[in-house]
C-alpha cells in the first residue's frame, strides 16, 4: 500500500502534489522555481538570492553527499524549501558533517520528496514560476482549499525588497582567499591588495572569496550603505553583489547610491542583482522573466569576442537590453532565450554580468571577470 502523504505542495492554479515531508514541519508560501544543476544543492539552498523561493531540483539524487559548513554560501539555508524526486538518504561523503534532513530540520526549512519533478517542472515552465504553498505535517492533515487560496493571495516577488532582510547587520572584512593570491604577504612583485568595498545585497561567500583570490582586500557593507559610507573606505573599486527580490524595489535606495558612485570614476563590478541595479542606475529597465534561469549549464555568448561561456545562473528578473542608454553596451547574451547577461560602459571601467562567475556551484568559464575587475583597479593605480 502506498505510504500516507506527509507533505503537500499546492499551486495557485489548484494543482496539488502529495509526497513525503522531511526537514522542518509547518507551512510556507513562496515562488516555485526549478534548478537543473546536478551538484551543489547546499550552495543553492544557502544562496541568499533564493529568499522567498522554493527550489525544485530536476536532478533526482539530492542529499547523497550530506552537508558541510565549508559549502555554505551564507550562515543559514535561505531558500524557503525544496522539492525532490527521491527522499534524501544517509550521506556518503567524507566531507559531510551533517545530513541534509537534520540540517534542514534544525534550520526550519521544509522539504517534500517523492514528487514527479518532471511533471512539476513542466508546470513551472508553463505557468512561469507559480506561487505555491508547501506544507509538511507528519499527521498528514492538509486543508487544500486554504493552501490554494493562500498561494493565490500571495503578492509574489514583484515589488519586493528582500535584500534588506538578508544583508549583514554590520560591516566586516573578508580576507579568506587572499592568501592564495600571488601578491599576498609581499610574496612577489605583485602590487599591494586592492581596497574593495562590496555591497552586500545577499552576497554569496564564494563571490567574496573570488574577489580576495584576485587580490582584493574586501570590506563588506550592508545593503543600505550610503555613497558617503562607501567612499569613507577610500575604495579602489566597488563591487555590487547578488541578492534576492525585485531589483526595482531594492533600487529605491541602492540606485541613487550607485549613481553617486558613478560620478566618482571608480571601477565598478556587479553580479546578478548587482548587475540589474547597476543597469537601473545607468537608466535602463528590468523586467520579470517567465520562469527565470536557475542552473549550472547555461550558455552565454560574449558579444564582443563571440566566445561561449557555460555559466551558473540564478535569476528571475532581467535587464531589458533595449533600454540600455548611449555609452552602455550589451556584452553578454543568453543562448537559451537571448536575454541580457552583461553590460559595460564604453568609456569607463564599469561592468556587470547576470550570471555567476564565482561558479558555486557551476563551471568556472567566467572566472576571468574577477581578473578584469582587478586589472581595472591596477590600471587606475
Ligand X SMILES: NC(=O)CC[C@H](N)C(=O)O
User: Which is closer to ligand X, CB of 58 or CB of 242?
Assistant: 242
Among residues 40, 81, 88, 245, the one that binds ligand X under rule CB under 6 A = 245
To the query of whether residue 358 is one of the catalytic residues in this protein, the response is: yes
- 237 has which bridge partners? 196
Given the residues 31, 272, 275, 332, the one annotated as active site:
272
- 173 has which bridge partners? 219
Query: Nearest distance from residue 254's CB to ligand X, in Å?
Result: 12
Among residues 32, 272, 278, 328, the one that binds ligand X under rule CB under 6 A = 272
HEC string for the chain: CCCCCCEEEEECCCCEEEEEEEECCEEEEEEEEEECCCCCHHHHHCCHHHECEEEEECCCCCCCCCECHHHCCCCCCCECEEECCCCCCCCCCCCCCECHHHHHHHCCCEEEECCCHHHHHHHHHHHCCCEEEEEECCCCCCCHHHHHHHHHHCCCCCCCCCHHHHCCCCCEEECCCHHHCCCHHHCCCCCCCEEEEEEECCCCHHHHHHHHHCCEEEEEEECCCCHHHHHCCCCCEEEECCCCCCHHHHHHHHHHHHHHHHCCCCCEEEECHHHHHHHHHHCCEEEEEEEEEEEEEEEEEECCCCCEEEEEEEEEEEEEHHHCCCCEEEEEEECCCCCEEEEEECCCCEEEECCCCCCCCCCCCCCHHHHHHHHHHHHHC
Q: Is 65 an interacting residue with respect to ligand X (CB under 6 A)?
A: no
- 112 has which bridge partners? 21, 83
Other beta carbons within 10 Å of 17:
22
Query: Nearest distance from residue 257's CB to ligand X, in Å?
Result: 17
To the query of whether residue 139 is one of the catalytic residues in this protein, the response is: no
User: Which is closer to ligand X, CB of 157 or CB of 225?
Assistant: 157
50, 78 Cβ separation under 8 angstroms: yes
Q: Is 52 an interacting residue with respect to ligand X (CB under 6 A)?
A: no
User: Which is closer to ligand X, CB of 99 or CB of 242?
Assistant: 242
Asked if residue 273 belongs to a known ligand binding site, the reply is yes
Query: Nearest distance from residue 10's CB to ligand X, in Å?
Result: 23
Asked if residue 120 belongs to a known ligand binding site, the reply is no
Among residues 215, 244, 349, 362, the one that binds ligand X under rule CB under 6 A = 244
Query: Nearest distance from residue 48's CB to ligand X, in Å?
Result: 8
Contact mark string toward ligand X, 171..210, x via CB under 6 A = ----------------------------------------
Q: Is 49 an interacting residue with respect to ligand X (CB under 6 A)?
A: yes
Among residues 19, 243, 251, 362, the one that binds ligand X under rule CB under 6 A = 243
Asked if residue 336 belongs to a known ligand binding site, the reply is no
User: Which is closer to ligand X, CB of 177 or CB of 243?
Assistant: 243
Q: Is 334 an interacting residue with respect to ligand X (CB under 6 A)?
A: no
Whose CB is nearest to ligand X? 272
User: Which is closer to ligand X, CB of 237 or CB of 247?
Assistant: 247
Asked if residue 245 belongs to a known ligand binding site, the reply is yes
User: Which is closer to ligand X, CB of 147 or CB of 280?
Assistant: 280
How many residues belong to the site for ligand X (CB under 6 A)?
12
Residues 278-317 close enough to bind ligand X by CB under 6 A: 314-317
Does residue 227 have a cis bond before it (omega within 30 degrees)?
no
Bind-site residues = 49, 243, 245, 273, 276, 314, 316-317
Interface positions with ligand X (CB under 6 A): 49, 242-245, 247, 272-273, 314-317
* Active site residue ranges: 272, 356, 358
Amino acid at each position: 500500500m502506498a505510504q500516507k502523504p506527509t507533505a503537500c505542495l499546492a499551486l495557485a492554479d489548484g494543482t496539488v502534489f502529495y509526497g513525503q515531508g522531511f526537514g522542518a514541519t509547518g507551512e510556507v508560501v513562496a515562488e516555485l522555481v526549478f534548478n537543473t544543476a546536478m551538484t551543489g544543492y547546499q550552495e543553492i539552498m544557502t544562496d541568499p538570492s533564493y529568499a522567498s523561493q522554493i527550489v525544485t531540483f530536476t536532478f533526482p539524487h539530492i542529499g547523497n553527499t550530506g552537508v558541510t559548513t565549508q559549502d555554505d554560501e551564507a550562515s543559514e539555508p535561505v531558500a524557503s524549501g525544496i522539492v525532490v524526486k527521491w527522499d534524501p538518504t544517509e550521506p556518503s561523503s567524507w566531507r559531510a558533517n551533517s545530513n541534509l534532513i537534520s540540517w534542514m530540520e534544525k534550520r526550519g526549512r521544509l522539504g517534500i520528496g517523492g514528487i514527479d519533478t518532471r511533471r512539476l517542472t513542466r508546470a513551472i515552465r508553463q505557468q512561469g514560476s507559480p506561487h505555491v504553498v508547501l506544507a509538511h505535517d507528519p499527521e498528514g492533515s492538509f486543508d487544500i482549499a486554504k493552501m490554494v487560496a493562500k498561494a493565490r493571495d500571495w503578492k509574489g516577488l514583484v515589488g519586493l525588497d528582500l535584500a534588506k532582510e538578508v544583508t549583514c547587520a554590520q560591516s566586516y572584512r573578508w580576507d579568506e582567499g587572499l592568501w592564495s593570491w600571488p601578491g599576498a604577504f609581499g610574496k612577489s612583485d605583485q602590487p599591494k591588495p586592492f581596497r574593495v568595498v562590496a555591497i552586500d545585497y545577499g552576497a554569496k561567500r564564494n563571490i567574496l572569496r573570488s574577489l580576495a583570490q584576485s587580490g582584493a582586500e574586501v570590506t563588506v557593507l550592508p545593503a543600505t550603505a550610503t555613497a558617503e559610507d562607501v567612499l569613507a573606505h577610500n575604495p579602489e573599486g566597488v563591487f555590487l553583489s547578488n541578492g534576492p527580490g525585485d531589483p526595482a524595489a531594492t533600487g529605491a535606495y541602492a540606485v541613487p547610491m550607485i549613481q553617486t558612485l558613478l560620478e566618482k570614476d571608480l571601477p565598478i563590478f556587479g553580479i546578478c542583482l548587482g548587475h540589474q541595479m547597476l543597469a537601473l542606475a545607468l537608466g535602463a529597465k528590468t523586467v520579470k522573466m517567465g520562469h527565470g534561469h536557475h542552473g549550472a549549464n547555461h550558455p552565454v555568448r560574449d558579444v564582443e569576442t563571440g566566445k561561449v561561456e557555460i555559466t551558473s545562473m540564478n535569476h528571475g528578473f532581467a535587464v531589458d537590453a533595449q533600454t540600455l542608454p548611449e555609452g552602455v553596451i550589451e556584452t553578454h547574451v543568453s543562448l537559451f532565450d537571448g536575454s541580457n547577461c552583461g553590460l559595460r560602459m564604453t568609456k569607463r571601467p564599469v561592468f556587470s554580468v547576470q550570471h555567476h562567475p564565482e561558479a558555486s556551484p557551476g563551471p568556472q568559464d567566467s572566472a576571468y571577470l574577477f581578473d578584469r575587475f582587478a586589472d581595472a583597479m591596477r590600471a587606475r593605480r
